[in-house]
Amino acid sequence: MSADPSDTSGLREQIAENQQAIDRLNRDLARKSNEVRIIQQISSEITSTLDLDEVLGIILRAMDHVLAFAHSMILLKDVADNVLRVAATRGYAEQGAGAQVRLGEGVIGVVGERRRMMRIGNIGASMRYLKTVRARMESSGEVGPAEAPAVLPGLTDVQSQLALPLTVKDRLVGVLAVESRTPNAFDELDEVLLRIVGNQAATAIDNARTYQIVEQLGRLKRFFSPQLADLIIRGGADDPLKTHRREVTVVFLDLRGFTAFAETSEPEEVMGVLHEYHGEMGRLILAHEGTLERFTGDGMMIFFNDPLPMPDAAERAVRMAVAMRDRAAELAVRWHRKGYELDLGIGIAKGFATIGAIGFEGRWDYGAIGTVTNLAARLCGEAKPGQILISPRLLPEVENLLEVEEMGLLAVKGLARPVKPLNVLRLRDPA
Amino acid sequence: MAILPDDIKAAMQGVIPSHVVTCSHDGTPNASAISQVYYVDADHVALSHQFFNKTKRNLEENPRAMAWVISPETFEAWDLELEFVRSETSGPIFDIMEMQIEAIASMVGMKGIFKLRAADVFRVTAVSKAVGERIPLAEIPRAR
């Protein structure tokens, strides 16, 4: 046989090329069917719950088990701030929850700011390069010394990151990120897969978050004004139902003669008086931005400096008390005419209290616990009709506003030494 | 025409810095390291323009260049022959390159200082596996 050997090799090459093309097509097909499987699996799991933590857990588990991304995290955008907060992680020694990234900072922050996916596989090399450029520019005086680099959550010595913005109707919900210490760890296929998961994740997270907010809002609106409840939800104020300790100014008021009046009057009369009294006092509480902690029949407890910090808490408390006394005096004229012997007494004290949700499942209340509430209640109990008794600790902050008179020593349960309260005579005319 | 092979993509992530060679009008060559030769499509790449340097000046005089990229996985190297097409300061290619630069810059306190001026897009006219050839030292022409 004298066949031309180059013919055979040409044929072999052709066969090999064809085989490569077939392999490529098979790989593509396998990939496509894998994508479909992933979509089905993840979407059925994700939509099975409205619990935010569960949703985040499902997403990250899928990243690990289905897509083989070992290190992943979800950051959620704070509604009020331009900050992404780590909400869930998988594949890290430390949980890292609560760590935050400012929009525009690092790979994740830039992805959040631009709302565009980013894949980068040369973080180490790029940073070394930039540090060298930076050093050169510093030594030539082109730029000043470097500001401290941001501390970013995630792997130390990270080389590759793939980060996807989670958006719902153009609104940024958060960022889903995977990372690796291996350079070039992610390719275009990973982008495709992450995008598939990301679209569903964004919607599921948003739904769970909305549900959480509606629940929380309902809870908060029982205790706070709608504006304040909104502010808390949007992150402008800390959740006051979480236990915390804060210095507050506490105002106690009740009606002298109310118990006797309630026992001797018709229920309609009692409720009518209470309704009028609560309505008028409530209006003044709102006007001075006080927090109504509770009603007990004719008694009310209001405090200032929580949940919203107020530098002028003492002043607000005293001004509110004086306004209440004036308004109650007007109401009392009518009450006396009807034969009701009702007069307002008020006590105000300042001090630290433990504040938060008190109660049990199904019946939670927002409450403050501390000697300061006892003292305010005791001062209120001691006040004669029309008196506003304040604890001496309040005086330095309000003495320019008020004319006061000193009262006799008063023993208070829980306090080692008796206090010497002051009675508020009147507000000083503004000079 | 799909001139770039698929497996060159790994060499275009900037893990190993690439090099680009340009030539001035009078024929003086210039070689320079470049952080990334970005894969645009199978016929185009983009180079980041961050500083006004000799590469940029040469390209204004002579729109041809050569780039050398290395795969960090296999250490295979490719030579690309390039022809300058256009300079982009917006659009998807610019955005992707700019985002990466900004992300890294923000991590070393260089945000706003180190930034992408333009993405220079080139057509790839030829690509070959760079095998390398030893040139005896004495034969290298001395630059003046």
A135 closest CA partner among A125, A124, A144: A144
- pLDDT over 80 at A330, yes or no: yes
Q: Is A148 on the interface with B (CB under 8 A)?
A: yes
Give A281's pLDDT tier (boundaries 50, 70, 90). very high
Q: How many of the other CB atoms lie within 10 Å of CB of B30?
A: 16
The pLDDT of residue B1 = 64
Q: Cβ–Cβ of A133/B95 closer than 8 Å?
A: no
B130, burial (CB in 10 Å: exposed 0-12, middle 13-18, buried 19+)? middle
Nearest to A389 by CA among A373, A400, A399, A378: A378
pLDDT of residue A225: 67
pLDDT at A174 over 50: yes
The residue in chain B having the minimum alpha-carbon distance to the alpha carbon of residue A159 is B15
Let me know if residue A223 belongs to a domain: no
Q: Do B104 and A123 touch (CB under 8 A)?
A: yes
Residue A291 to residue A305: CA distance in whole angstroms: 8
Q: Does the B6-90+118-131 domain belong in CATH 2.30.110.10?
A: yes
pLDDT: is A20 or A252 the higher one? Answer: A252
* φ/ψ of residue B59, rounded to 5: -65, -30
> Which residues on adjacent β-strands are paired with residue B127?
B80
Its ipTM equals 0.83
Chain A residues inside the 8 Å CB shell of B114: 130, 133-134
DSSP A331-367: HHHHHHHTT---EEEEEEEEEEEEEEEEEETTEEEEE
A146 touches chain B (CB under 8 A): yes
- The CATH number linked to A328 is 3.30.70.1230
> What is the number of H-type helices and E-type strands within chain B?
2, 7
Contact flag A109-B105 (C-beta cutoff 8 Å)? no
**Same-domain pairing of A158 and A188:** yes
Pick A34 or A247 by higher pLDDT: A247
Based on the fold, state whether residues A302 and A377 are members of the same structural domain. yes
pLDDT at A307 exceeding the cut of 70: yes
Q: How confident is the model at residue A422 (pLDDT cuts 50, 70, 90)?
A: very high
Q: What value does the mean pLDDT of chain B take?
A: 87
According to the model, what pLDDT value does residue B89 have? Answer: 95
pLDDT at residue A332, as a whole number: 92
Q: Which residue of B has its CA nearest to A148?
A: B109
In a domain? residue A1: no
So what's the pLDDT on residue A234? 67
d(CA A402, CA A315): 10
- Cβ–Cβ under 8 Å, residues A415 and A371: yes
Question: How many CA atoms within 13 Å lie on the side-chain side of A191?
Answer: 10
pLDDT at A312 exceeding the cut of 50: yes
- The chain-wide mean pLDDT, for chain A, equals 86
pLDDT tens-place string over residues A93-143:
876 666 889 999 999 999 999 999 999 999 988 888 888 888 888 888 877
Residue of B nearest to A117 (CA): B96
Same domain for A419 and A299? yes
Number of H helices, E strands in chain A: 11, 14
**Least Cα separation, residue A40 to chain B (angstroms):** 30
**Position A41 in a domain:** yes
Residue A106 lies in a domain: yes
Q: Whole-model pTM?
A: 0.64
Residue A166 lies in a domain: yes
Compute φ and ψ for A93, nearest 5 degrees.
Answer: -65, -40
Q: Enumerate the residues of chain A whose CB falls inside 8 A of the CB of residue B111.
A: 104
A98 within 8 A of A85, measured Cβ to Cβ? yes
Residue with tokens 């309630």: A262
User: Domain with A134 in it: what CATH number?
Assistant: 3.30.450.40
Q: How far apart are CA B144 and CA A188, in angstroms?
A: 45
List the structure tokens of B47.
């180079």
Strands A71-77 and A171-180: antiparallel
Does the pLDDT at position A340 exceed 60? yes
Among A184-193, A205-214, A415-424, B89-98, the range with the most confident prediction by mean pLDDT is: B89-98
CB distance from A431 to chain B under 8 Å?
no
Across the strands, what pairs with B77? B70
What are A134-150's pLDDT values in tens digits? 888 888 887 777 666 66
Task: Give the number of A-B residue pairs with CB atoms closer than 8 Å.
Answer: 90
Q: Domain check: are A240 and A386 in the same one?
A: yes
Q: Which residue of A has its CA nearest to B35?
A: A126
Stretch B128-142: mean pLDDT, rounded? 66
In terms of CA atoms, which chain A residue is nearest residue B10? A184
Q: Is 80 exceeded by the pLDDT of residue B126?
A: yes
Pairing relationship of beta strands A71-77 and A422-427 according to DSSP bridges? unpaired
> Measuring CA to CA, which residue among B98, B79, B66 is closest to residue B11?
B79
B90 has a pLDDT exceeding 70 = yes
- Percent of chain A predicted with pLDDT > 70: 91
Q: Do A183 and B35 touch (CB under 8 A)?
A: no
Number of folded domains that form chain A: 2
Angle, alpha carbons A276-A281-A284 (nearest 5°): 135
Do residue A204 and residue A234 come from a single domain? no
- A414 versus A250: which is more confidently predicted? A250
- Domain span at residue A136 reads 10-215
Is any Cβ of chain B less than 8 angstroms from the Cβ of A157?
no
Residue B5 in tokens: 């092979």
- Clarify whether residues A59 and A167 are in a common domain: yes
Does a structural domain hold residue A225? Answer: no
Most A CBs within 10 Å, among B113, B115, B116, to test the A interface: B113
Which ranges of A100-256 does DSSP label H, i.e. alpha helix? 106-114, 123-139, 188-221, 226-233
Q: For the residues A358-374, what does the mean pLDDT come to?
A: 80
Q: Give the residue with greater pLDDT, B140 vs A298.
A: A298
Residue A108: Cβ within 10 Å count: 29
* Token code pair at residue A234: 């949007």
Q: Which residue in A105, A116, A131 is closest to B106 by CB distance? A: A105
Q: How far is A236 from chain B (nearest CA, A)?
A: 27
Q: Which residues of chain A are within 8 Å of residue B103 when distances are taken between CB atoms?
A: 106-107, 109-111, 118, 120
The pLDDT confidence band at residue B119, using thresholds 50, 70 and 90, is: very high
Compute the average pLDDT of residues A287-307. 88
Q: State residue B133's pLDDT score.
A: 61
Nearest by CB: B109 against A129, A147, A183: A147
Given a cut of 90, whether residue A328 has pLDDT beyond it is yes
CB atoms B15 and A183 under 8 Å = yes
> Can you give the pLDDT at residue A325?
96
Residue of B nearest to A151 (CA): B107
pLDDT reading at A431 higher than 60:
no
Strands of the sheet with B77-88, listed across from one edge? B29-34, B18-23, B64-70, B77-88, B118-129, B44-49, B37-41
A1 pLDDT tier (thresholds 50, 70, 90): very low
**Among all chains, which residue has been given the structure tokens 């001797």?**
A264
What is the phi/psi pair of residue A158, to 5°?
-65, 140
- Cβ within 8 Å, pair A107-B103: yes
Q: What is the reported pLDDT for A424? A: 94
End-to-end CA distance of chain B: 40
The pLDDT-based confidence of A172 (bands split at 50, 70, 90) is: very high
Percent of chain B with pLDDT over 90: 55
- Residue A183 and residue A120: Cα distance in Å, rounded? 9
R_g of chain B, CA atoms, integer Å? 16
Comparing CA positions, the residue from A203, A153, A161 lying closest to residue A180 is A161
pLDDT at residue A160 in the model: 94
Q: Which of A205-209, A360-364, A410-414 has the largest mean confidence? A: A205-209
The answer to whether B9 contacts A187, with C-beta atoms less than 8 Å apart, is yes
Residue A91 tokens, joined: 């594949």
Show the tokens assigned to A179: 């990372």
pLDDT tens digit sequence for B21-70: 999 999 999 999 887 899 999 999 999 888 778 998 999 999 999 999 99
Question: Which positions in chain B touch A122 (Cβ < 8 Å)?
Answer: 13-15, 35-36
Q: Which helix (H) or strand (E) holds B99?
A: helix B92-107
| Distance from the B133 Cα atom to the nearest Cα atom in chain A, whole angstroms | 27
Instruction: Give A 187-226 residues with CB within 8 A of chain B.
Output: 187-188
Which residues of chain B approach chain A closer than 8 Å at the C-beta?
A: 9-10, 13-17, 35-36, 72-73, 95-96, 99-100, 102-111, 113-114
For residues A66 and A134, membership in a common domain is answered with yes
